[in-house]
Structure 1
Amino acid sequence: MYGRSYDKVGFNLKFDKKFLNRKSFKLRPDSGDASKIRSKLCCDIANRIGLPSIQGTYARLYMNNEFWGLYVFMDSIKTSWIKQTFNPSEKEVTTLFQCKTGGFNFKSNSYNSCINANDDYPNMSEFSSFVYAANNARNISDLEKIMDVDIFLKYLTFEWLIGSSDHFMIYGHNFNWYKRESDGKWVVIYYDYDNTFGNGASYSLWANKGLNQDGTGANRGNQPIYYSFADWEPNIPILKKLVFDNKNRFKQIVYDVLVQGFNPNILNPHINEIKSFLSPYVREDFTAKNGSLPGRINKAGSRTSSSYSNFEYNIENSVKNWISKKFDVACSNY
């Protein structure tokens, strides 16, 4: 619902027949992202580091021959996406659960923050059993029996590095859990990446945290861009078992992510390519016709305050700056 608070709204698309081997998509205006590249860039990083991930590109939208502007064109994690990605033998996917509303952190009853993504199978018993088992796991070995720990740890690393305030650790939403048919283990899959690279990451989110789980944090400061992983995560109990009791394993995962995908030498040239490609379409999106910008139909919503100059500035001084400084923080800590 956050996205619908703006004057330019997004759309969920569902087709009866496959298009690009998929049936469900999202068209996102990402009105809160002045750079217009956060969602696309995060999808590219996740794919590059080997996570099961959605993909993203761009679209110029026309409806009834009227131009509606530039949108991010993304996968939607539905049962058809699961079938394409994991190729289960089952005809109906009944173990995909979406955590959308916020508050999921593996604590008791936090499974109520999620729903079965298959509307025909609303039963939550299998997911609640998973949450109960994870919450009561004694150590990482117990967790290995029920979830793909490496994927979860890599997503947590990814979440911290991209500076997301909108996924598991901060708000507990914008991800799915899927019970993989091949081995019965649960796999996490993130989505929605507009609040990343520091976008929306206010110090107030950590103002009342206290010390970190590893005893550090007394001098955390008020600039999240410089936070270590221990600073960033809000003392979620399961992360002690996963991360702080297994520092060497986590350190290796951080190293792998930095080498494979999150470093300025890899990302800056890619960002420049996206920026060059997007430039004329962003200009077009901020060019008024008959006194109105394209696609701004929600008159009750907040007016999109960005501009082409903000697009350029935000890429260079927000996104690239975050990557550079967070890379240095990660290298110095891990």
Structure 2
Amino acid sequence: MQKTFYIFFLLFFTSCNNEENEIIAVDVNFQESNLPIVMIDTYGEDILDEPRIDAYMGVINNTNGINNIGDNFNDYDGKITIEKRGNSSQDQEKPPYRFETVDNNAENNNVQLLGFPEENDWILYAPWSDKSLLRNVLIYSLSNEMGRYAPRSKFVELYINDEYRGVYVLMEKIKRDKNRVEISALNPNENSGDNVTGGYILKFDWAETGDNNGGFYSLIDGMRYNYHYPKADEISTQQKDYIQTFINSYENVMNGNNYNTENGYSKFIDVESFIDFIILQEISRNVDAYGLSTYVYKDKESINNKLTAGPIWDFNHGFGNCDYYEAWETDGWNISYIYDDMDQRAFWWLKLWDEENFKGMVKDRYNELRLSVLSTNNVNSKIDEYVSTLGNSVNRNFTKWPILGEYIWPNYQVFDTHQEEIVYLKSWINNRLTWMDSELN
């Protein structure tokens, strides 16, 4: 499926009185990118929140790193189904998408994309308020270096129906899979014995939004656990009973006086995973941490009968890119911040944090990571590598979407150039790590 593409850039001129932007289409002849090029044809249909619509996708990803509009589709050339995704983000002018690769019979088609392991569920994340374009890619890479799975991700340039849409990040959707969240499959008929004990993925997030259409509430603080796997319409009654009973038992221990004994939290959770999860949330001071976009999972009892924290998800408002809840500050612990309105965090996060032995283990692990994964040199090198990888696509993205110098919720700082965005990001991270060095030691 080969086409000649003439790319239309939509230029936005923002008025100071918050009136609707004037849109002027400019015909631009764009030829070459050092990023993979993703081209989607929806056959003239609009992409909706739901249901997913049929579309065709081609991906150009040449081994020499130079991708031309007229090149053959050599990474993927086939059918997909696609929809908008996210909560508030799907209303952006540049929305994120979820798509599934399918065969000619509209059945799941597990494929490798951009060298990622075979699967059929994918995300096209749209950096918008994060004008560095790289916050999520950075934190996911750090997590994987720490030995904690986070979605694999790569920058791409996206076209939909011959229209240039800017820089996106193709990434894995969080799901149970041997190459993603590696836990046992749980079929609807596995309702007793070891079978019913896993695997499960639960998510803290807003109720009844996106994929969060079923779950249960804590008997202690009323916080909601959303079913992520199995899905709400696939999980059996016995499986619901099992995972709710497991969580209730854990929370009862955490709500008691003996939560820090040998029969306390360490019997229920993979402590090291929770330590790493907290460190990643705190180095970024992620405003959504612990209560939104927060996953935990559990395998079968015969494999690992403890609750594991992760994978991490959605850090576009992290690293100083948020103007509420003091999330722009480089000092102060996010986990103990007192919110002045609805708090989505389960009570036991703070109780873990305040426990002396747990805090000591956080300190030891953090100090270990500061000599390797979280060293200032490693973090800065990663950022420099991403900026180099993005190359001229940065200019094309911000020509398409001229938001540099404009406030995009919830920006704390607004800069006129991408270079200034990167300088701010590096400076913020350095100051944050310096504060954590002092505070933990």
TM-score, structure 1 length as denominator? 0.78
The equivalent residue for 1:150 is 272
Say whether residues 1:250 and 2:342 are aligned partners: no
Query: Offset at 1:328?
Result: 0.8
SS of residue matched to 2:149: coil
Q: 1:274 to 1:96 in 2, by over 3 A?
A: same
Q: What is the CA distance between 1:39 and its match in structure 2?
A: 0.7
State whether structure 2 residue 146 is matched by structure 1 residue 49: yes
Name the residue aligned to 1:139: 259
Is the 1:8–1:304 contact (alpha carbons within 8 Å) kept by the matching residues of 2? no
Give the structure 2 partner of residue 227 of structure 1: 332
Q: Is the 8 A contact 2:323 2:410 kept in 1?
A: no
Partner residue in 2 for 1:97: 202
Shift in CA distance, 55/201, structure 1 to aligned 2, threshold 3 Å: farther
Match of 1:270 in 2: 382
More strand by share: 2
Alignment of 1:107-256 (within 5 A): 108=220, 110=222, 112-119=224-231, 120-123=233-236, 124-137=240-253, 138-140=258-260, 141=262, 142-168=264-290, 172-181=291-300, 182-189=303-310, 190-200=312-322, 202-203=324-325, 224-228=329-333, 232=337, 237-239=347-349, 241-245=351-355, 246=357, 247-256=359-368
Q: 2:438 maps to which residue?
A: 332
| 8 Å Cα contact 1:164/1:201 also seen in 2 | no
Alpha-carbon spacing, 1:39–1:233, altered in 2? closer, same or farther (3 Å):
farther
How far the C-alpha of 1:326 sits from its partner, in A, is 1.1
Q: Pick from 168, 178, 198: which aligns with 1:83? A: 178
- SS of the residue 1:333 aligns to: helix
Which letter maps to 1:270?
Answer: K
Cα deviation for residue 173 of structure 1 reads 1.4
Q: What are the superposed Cα offsets for residues 196-219 of structure 1, whole Å, 9 maximum, x if unpaired?
A: 1021153457xxxxxxxxxxxxxx
Q: Counterpart of 1:37?
A: 134
Say whether the 8 Å CA contact 1:147–1:185 is kept in structure 2: yes
| C-alpha displacement of 1:155 | 0.5
Call closer, same or farther: CA 1:107–1:188 in 2, change over 3 Å: farther
Superposition CA RMSD, Å: 3.2
- The letter for the 2-side match of 1:314 is E
> Compared with structure 1, are the counterparts of its residues 165 and 252 closer, same or farther at alpha carbon in structure 2 (3 Å cutoff)?
same
With CA pairs under 8 Å and 6+ residues apart, which has the higher RCO, 1 or 2?
1
* 1:27-78 residue CA offsets vs partner (Å, 9 max, x unmatched): 1112110110101001111111121222221111123333222101111112
Offset at residue 163 of structure 1 (A): 1.5
**Structure with greater Cα Rg:** 2
Instruction: Tell me if structure 1 keeps the 8 A contact 2:287–2:322.
Output: yes
Is the Cα–Cα contact under 8 Å of residues 140 and 152 in structure 2 kept in the other structure? yes
Structure 1 pair 41–183 and aligned structure 2 pair: CA distance change class (3 A): same
Residue 269 and residue 178 in structure 1: after superposition, are their counterparts in 2 closer, same or farther (change >3 A)? same
Structure 1 contact 12–27 (Cα < 8 Å) conserved:
yes
Unmatched tracts of structure 1, length 5 or more: 206-222, 295-301
Q: Tell me the CA shift for residue 160 of structure 1.
A: 0.7
In structure 2, relative to structure 1, the CA distance for the partners of 1:74 and 1:203 (3 Å cut) is: same
Q: CA deviation at 1:228?
A: 4.3
**Residue type at the aligned position of 2:299:** R
Hey, what's the Cα distance between the residues in 2 that align with 1:239 and 1:105?
A: 16
Report the CA distance between 1:147 and its aligned residue. Answer: 1.7
1:157 maps to amino acid:
I
Larger relative helix fraction: 1
Could you tell me how far apart the structure 2 residues matched to 1:100 and 1:118 are?
A: 16
User: What percentage of residue pairs aligned between the two structures are identical?
Assistant: 19
Equivalent residue letter for 1:161? I
Give the TM-score normalised by the residue count of structure 2: 0.61
Which residues of structure 2 form unaligned runs of 5+?
Answer: 1-86, 102-107, 113-117, 188-197, 208-215, 340-344, 403-407
Residue 90 to residue 5, structure 1, CA distance change in 2 (3 Å):
closer
Deviation of 1:165 after TM superposition, in Å, equals: 0.4
Verify the 8 A CA contact 1:146 1:184 in the aligned structure 2. yes
